[in-house]
Structures are given as C-alpha cells and as structure tokens.
C-alpha cells in the first residue's frame, strides 16, 4: 500500500511528518525486550532442575500490544492535545501515587503499586513523561506569570516528590528531580543557579543517605570490596559466563538464581545468553534513539517542542543508564526498570506514552511544505 503526499488524511499527515528513524529504534528495542522476556521467563517460573514456562513472556507480549496502541494513539495528538493529555495523566498519576500509600501492595517495606487483580500498576511511572510536557509548556510560554516559571515547575513537582519519598521511592524521586533540573537547564537557566541546584542536590542526596536505611545499605554495599550484594554478584557472574557472544538462547544457568532476572536485572540475562554483543547493541540503540530525539527537537520551530523533546529524551536515557549501570555494578543497586526491555505493564506503558509524546513534538513537515507556508504567509494568503 502506497501513500501519496497529496493525501490530506490524518494518517497520511502523520506518516510524512513522524520520525521514522526513531520508530525503527523503538521497534528494535521492543523486539529485543520481547526476546529477552522469553529468555528470562523460565528462570522466574522454574529453576536449574525444574522446567519453567513462558508465562511472563506471554503476558509481556500482551502488554506490548497495549503499549503499541498507547504509543500510536499518543503520537497522533496535536501539540495542544498533548498538553491536555499530559495534564490529565499527571493528575491521575499523582492521585494514584497518593492512593498507593494506603492501598498499595507492601513489598520489602515499600508501597509503589496498585493491585488490580489481573495486573499491578505503578502510577509514579507516568509522572515522568507528563511532567516533561507540562514543564516544557510552562517554561516555553511567553506570557507573563505571577511567579517565576522555574518556581511554578517546582510547585508542580513538589507534591509528587513528597508522595514518592513517603512510599519510599528514592529512585523515582531522584529521576524526577533530575528531569526538572535538566528542563531548567535546557530553558536557559543561568549557570549560577545551575551550580546552586547541583549543590542542593548533593545535600539532598546526603540527607537521603542518612534518613533511609535501605539507601545507606546499598551505598555501603556498592563501596564495599568484599560484599557487593547478592544480585549484583550474580549479575557480574552472568556477564562473565556469557563473554563476548553468550552461551546461547535458553542455555543460561546463572539467570535461575537472580530473583529479578525478568525486570531489574534483565540486562544480566542478555549478557549471559547473548553476550557483550547484544548488551552493546542495546546500549547503542538507546544512544541512537536519544540523539535522534534530541536532534529532531533542536530542529523544531517552537520552544515548547524543543524543551519537551529534550526532556523526554533525557529522562529515558538516564533511566536506561541507571539500570544498565546497576547491572554491571557501576552504580549502587536501585530497583529501576530498563525501558522497553524489563518485564511489567507499568514500565512498558509509561515508555510507550513517553515515546508517543516524543513522536508528537518531533514531527516535522517536509521542507517544501514549510517554504510554501512561509511564502503564503508573506503574501497574506491563508493556506
């Protein structure tokens, strides 16, 4: 089926303006994630001496279908509609995160998910893409406001940070604060204030280290030369076992001993069964996707698209870096999923929404159409 440029339908307009290279990178990452779901599922449902099944892989396949629908639907929105959608998502995610404090499932002393029976959902995952859009809308608005725009964005994010620290979810809190700081930097915040915020972040990080015992424990393990932690130790053994090309699909053995092999440590499964080659390919795909979105955002014609695209790319890249860094013991242990790859509906749906929003703000019309529109405007003729 061919689509003509003369076709003025909504789908044709989407097809000729959407970033197809970014779509390819997203598709490849999702494909790798589904492949690794089939590799990790037997390790979670079985053991070294007992046959596992593909229960989690089948569920992840179902999640992927829903995620593709979310990404496709979000990418069809206009810039005005994406701001409205982000406001609704942020409000719902904030309310959901608050309800988690009272109705959430308690896992290892933390409440982060709402259990709906057929699946669990982590509302805080959706705060990131929604906040990136809202912060960009505020910072790019040329109209004067009662308060400084950075202060407005801080007041917007403050309730989310408080709720997340009460759960407690230090990782998501840090990621949201990093996103906020990056958005202010992209918006042209003076270096003096950037340095001041960096110093405040360091003090906040030390306070978190002192207040939360599990953070203190994980940092101590990371700095220890003898006890790096059970899962971190197994992950390093998995990478060593896999070597350059891996032991082959389904032939991994260390993955059966990693408790979170299908989620937080799925990168270790990739290392054991497919080796350094696949791990490098995953890292390269994230780099290519991030750079692609950043470049498209930089070429956007309005400040909102520039800021929103940069924020969405940054938060995805940082989360991926943290997950992979933890897996190879470059960073202290942190329960954070690998976008596109880790098992779970919350992770997959939120990255689908993030990428859907990114596809909206990076859509670009063909140059001829832009020139024709500019010419018509100069002549005082409406298109």
| 374 occurs within a structural domain | no
Q: Provide the number of structural domains found in the chain.
A: 1
44, part of any domain: yes
Average pLDDT over residues 220-241: 84
pLDDT for position 7: 58
Percentage with pLDDT > 90 across the chain: 56
The 10s digit of each residue's pLDDT in 102-124 is 887 776 566 788 888 778 889 99
Question: What is the total residue count of the chain?
Answer: 383
In this prediction, residue 178 carries a pLDDT of: 92
The arithmetic mean of pLDDT across residues 332-353, rounded, is 91
Q: Which position has the higher pLDDT, 139 or 46?
A: 139
Going by pLDDT thresholds of 50, 70 and 90, the confidence category of residue 316 is very high
Does residue 98 carry a pLDDT above 80? yes
User: Is residue 9 situated within a structural domain?
Assistant: no
What does the pLDDT read at residue 354?
A: 97
pLDDT in the model for residue 375: 46
The alpha-carbon radius of gyration of the chain (Å, integer) is: 22
pLDDT digits (tens, 9 = 90+) for 273-289: 999 999 999 999 999 99
Residue 334 lies in a domain: yes
Inside any domain, residue 223: yes
pLDDT in tens, 297-314: 999 889 999 999 999 999
Within a domain: residue 148? yes
Mean pLDDT over the full length of the chain = 87
Range of the domain at 295: 18-365
Assigned domain for 199 exists: yes
SS3 letters across the chain: CCCCCCCCCHHHHHHHHCCHHHHHHHHHHHHHHHHHHHHHHHHHHCECCECCCCHHHHHHHHHHHHHHHHHHHHHCCCHHHHHHHHHHHHHHHHHHHHHHHHHCEEECCEEEEEECCCCEECHHHHHHHHHHHHHHHHHHCCCCCCCCHHHHHHHHHHHHHHHHHHCCCHHHHHHHHHHHHHHHHHCCCCHHHHHHHHHHHHHHHHHHHHHCHHHHHHHHHHHCCCCCCHHHHHHHHHHHHHCCCCCCCCCCCHHHHCCCCCCCCHHHHHHHHHHHHHHHHHHHHHHHHHHHHHHHHHCCCCHHHHHHHHHHHHHHHHHHHHHHHHHCCCCCCCCCCCCCCCCCHHHHHHHHHHHHHHHHHCCCCCHHHHHHHHHHHHCCCCC
Q: What are phi and psi of 47, to 5 degrees?
A: -160, 180
Q: Is 376 a domain residue?
A: no
Lowest mean pLDDT among 65-74, 78-87, 251-260, 301-310: 251-260
Higher pLDDT, 377 or 292: 292
2 pLDDT higher than 70:
no
């Amino acid at each position: 089926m061919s689509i003509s440029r003369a076709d003025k339908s909504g789908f044709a307009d989407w097809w000729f303006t959407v970033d197809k290279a970014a779509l390819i990178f997203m598709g490849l990452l999702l494909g790798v994630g589904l492949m690794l779901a089939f590799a990790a599922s037997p390790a979670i449902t079985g053991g070294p001496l007992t046959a596992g099944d593909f229960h989690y892989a089948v569920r992840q396949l179902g999640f992927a279908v829903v995620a593709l629908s979310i990404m496709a639907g979000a990418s069809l929105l206009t810039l005005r509609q994406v701001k409205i959608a982000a406001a609704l998502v942020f409000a719902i995610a904030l309310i959901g995160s608050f309800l988690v404090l009272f109705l959430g499932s308690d896992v290892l002393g933390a409440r982060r998910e709402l259990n709906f029976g057929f699946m669990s959902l982590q509302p805080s995952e959706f705060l990131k893409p929604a906040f990136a859009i809202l912060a960009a809308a505020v910072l790019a608005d040329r109209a004067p406001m009662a308060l400084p725009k950075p202060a407005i964005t801080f007041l917007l994010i403050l309730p989310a940070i408080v709720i997340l620290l009460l759960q407690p979810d230090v990782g998501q809190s840090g990621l949201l604060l990093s996103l906020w700081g990056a958005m202010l930097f992209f918006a042209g915040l003076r270096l003096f204030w950037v340095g001041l915020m960096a110093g405040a972040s360091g003090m906040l990080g030390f306070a978190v280290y002192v207040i939360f015992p599990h953070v203190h424990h994980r940092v101590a393990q990371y700095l220890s030369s003898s006890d790096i932690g059970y899962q971190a130790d197994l992950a390093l053994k998995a990478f060593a076992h896999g070597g350059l090309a891996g032991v082959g699909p389904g032939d991994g053995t260390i993955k059966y001993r990693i408790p979170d092999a299908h989620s937080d440590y799925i990168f270790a499964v990739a290392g054991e069964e497919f080796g350094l080659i696949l791990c490098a390919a995953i890292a390269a795909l994230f780099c290519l996707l991030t750079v692609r979105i950043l470049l498209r955002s930089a070429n956007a014609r309005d400040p909102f698209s520039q800021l929103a695209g940069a924020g969405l790319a940054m938060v995805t890249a940082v989360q991926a870096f943290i997950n992979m860094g933890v897996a190879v013991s470059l960073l202290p242990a942190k329960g954070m999923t690998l976008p596109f790859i880790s098992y779970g509906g919350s992770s997959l749906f939120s990255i689908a929404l993030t990428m859907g929003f990114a596809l909206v703000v990076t859509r670009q019309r063909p140059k001829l159409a832009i020139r024709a529109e500019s010419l018509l405007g100069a002549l005082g003729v409406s298109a």
